[in-house]
């Protein structure tokens, strides 16, 4: 795997170490080279003797069936280019290959895509929407954490072609989503008693949400997305506001969600409560739910809670890997998180 010293890397290593049919190979990193994995991830103490390795000059000779990439989008794009001559399957956790529209990539990342010819090879890796394509693909782009939460909440409506042209989203996220290196806006004393939005209406995951929903909805969906930094370590709580073209009842919504997620191992619809972060933190499960406005049955508010590092990151990458290898998609992922 590539990029193992961050928080998502820690989760990815943990899940691979307990996987019954996968052997963790070399863990490459841009820092901590030569140090044991437990130097960055103390929860791995005694579980492995592996050390972080420097990225090799020649990647085409790697001995691996699957390469998982947890790198910044610009670095990831270059590494995928170098790996493209290799026979291994590739799962990229960055935003480098999520957008098939390279113009949208340039708009949101401020630079031309470094490998536009590889973009069409990638399947968007939301298992609940694209499981068959993921199974058949060699290249998978795992969705972003915010994107996963919005897409899971709206997928049942999209499959029924009932998502309106505009969706308004507010999503609250924990500090681990900002990465392992502290910054002025993520330092704990600043964040612990604080709530603030960032990148309102400009977040780079908005176009991937719109692309997935538009495809499923069979008509264009525009997403107005405001992310909020919260004093949590793990978790995303997402709220989406939609005005449908026609009234809908709670029973109709229940049928749509049941039909959509009947075979989805990691999506839960709580029976007697709405989704909450504490129920899913540390796990690969997501919870979804809804509320219909009692005064206007066209107004629906949708909710999703998930762990940004697991179902929103490393867990989803492992779920995709299992699908690509023809394995049980739930391998190494079934454990619930801790409570409280």
What would the pLDDT profile of 217-276 be if each residue is shown by its tens digit?
999 999 999 999 999 999 999 999 999 999 999 999 999 999 999 999 999 999 999 999
CATH code assigned to 145-308 = 3.30.360.10
Residue 84 pLDDT level (bands cut at 50, 70, 90) = confident
Q: Which residues make beta-bridge pairs with 68?
A: 91
- H/E element, 288: strand 286-292
Identify the H or E element spanning 103. helix 102-109
pLDDT tens column, 7-25: 999 999 999 999 999 999 9
Express each pLDDT in 11-66 by its tens digit: 999 999 999 999 999 999 989 999 999 999 999 999 999 999 998 877 766 789 99
| Lowest-confidence pick of 3-7, 128-132, 259-263, 275-279 | 3-7
The reply to whether omega before 195 is within 30° of 0 (cis) is no
- pLDDT recorded at residue 180: 84
Choose, from 67, 145, 260, 304, the residue flagged as catalytic: 145
| Residue 121 scores a pLDDT above 90 | yes
Look at residue 60 in the predicted model and tell me its pLDDT. 64
HSE at residue 317, side-chain half, CA atoms within 13 A, is 30
Per-residue model confidence as pLDDT tens digits over 154-209: 999 999 999 999 999 999 999 998 888 878 777 778 888 899 999 999 999 999 99
8 A C-beta contact, residue 231 and residue 192: yes
**Percent of the chain whose pLDDT exceeds 70:** 99
The mean per-residue pLDDT over the stretch 88-99 comes to 96
Between 149 and 58, the more confident residue is 149
pLDDT at 191: 87
3-state secondary structure 255-279: HHHHHHHCCCCCEECCCCCCCCHHH
pLDDT at site 47: 94
User: Which residues fall within 8 angstroms of residue 263, CB to CB, at 6 or more apart?
Assistant: none
Q: At what angle do helices 145-159 and 127-136 cross, to 10 degrees?
A: 100
- In the chain, where the domains are located: 7-121, 145-308
- 115: which 2 tokens? 């490998």
Domain 7-121 has CATH 3.90.1010.10: no
The two structure tokens encoding residue 44: 């791995």
- Is the pLDDT at 327 greater than 80, yes or no? yes
pLDDT at 46: 95
Overall average pLDDT of the 134-160 stretch: 98
The verdict on whether 145 is a catalytic residue reads yes
DSSP 82-146: HHTTSSSEEEE-SSTTT-S-HHHHHHHHSS--S-GGGGGGPEE--HHHHHHHHHH-SEEEPPPHH
Q: Which pLDDT score, from 0 to 100, does residue 57 have?
A: 76
Dihedral sign, Cα of residue 3, residue 72, residue 15, residue 62: negative
Q: Which two tokens stand for residue 301?
A: 């508010």
What average pLDDT score do residues 140-166 get? Answer: 98
């Amino acid at each position: 795997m590539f990029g193992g010293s961050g928080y998502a890397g820690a989760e990815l290593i943990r899940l691979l170490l307990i996987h019954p049919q996968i052997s963790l190979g070399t863990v490459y990193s841009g820092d901590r080279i030569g140090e044991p994995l437990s130097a960055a991830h103390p929860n791995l103490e005694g579980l492995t003797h592996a050390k972080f390795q420097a990225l090799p000059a020649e990647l085409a000779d790697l001995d691996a069936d699957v390469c998982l990439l947890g790198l910044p989008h610009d670095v990831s794009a270059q590494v995928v280019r170098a790996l493209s001559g290799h026979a291994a399957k590739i799962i990229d956790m960055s935003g480098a290959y999520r957008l098939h529209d390279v113009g949208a990539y340039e708009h949101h990342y401020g630079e031309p895509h470094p490998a536009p010819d590889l973009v069409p090879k990638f399947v968007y890796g939301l298992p609940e929407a694209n499981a068959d394509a993921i199974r058949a693909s060699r290249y998978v782009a795992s969705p972003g954490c915010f994107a996963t939460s919005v897409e899971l909440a709206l997928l049942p409506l999209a499959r029924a072609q009932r998502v309106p042209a505009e969706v308004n989203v507010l999503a609250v996220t924990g500090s681990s989503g900002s990465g392992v290196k502290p910054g002025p806006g993520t330092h704990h004393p600043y964040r612990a008693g604080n709530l603030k939005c960032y990148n309102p209406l400009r977040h780079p995951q908005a176009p991937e949400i719109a692309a997935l929903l538009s495809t499923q909805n069979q008509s264009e969906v525009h997403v107005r997305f405001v992310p909020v930094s919260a004093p949590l370590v793990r978790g995303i709580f997402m709220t989406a506001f939609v005005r449908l073209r026609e009234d809908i009842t709670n029973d109709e919504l229940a049928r749509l969600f049941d039909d959509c997620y009947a075979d989805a191992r990691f999506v839960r619809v709580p029976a007697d409560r709405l989704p909450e972060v504490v129920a899913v933190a540390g796990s690969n499960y997501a919870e979804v739910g809804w509320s219909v406005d009692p005064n206007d049955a066209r107004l629906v508010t949708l909710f999703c809670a998930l762990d940004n590092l697991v179902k929103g990151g490393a867990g989803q990458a492992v779920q995709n890997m299992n699908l690509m290898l023809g394995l049980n998609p739930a391998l190494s992922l079934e454990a619930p998180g801790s409570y409280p």
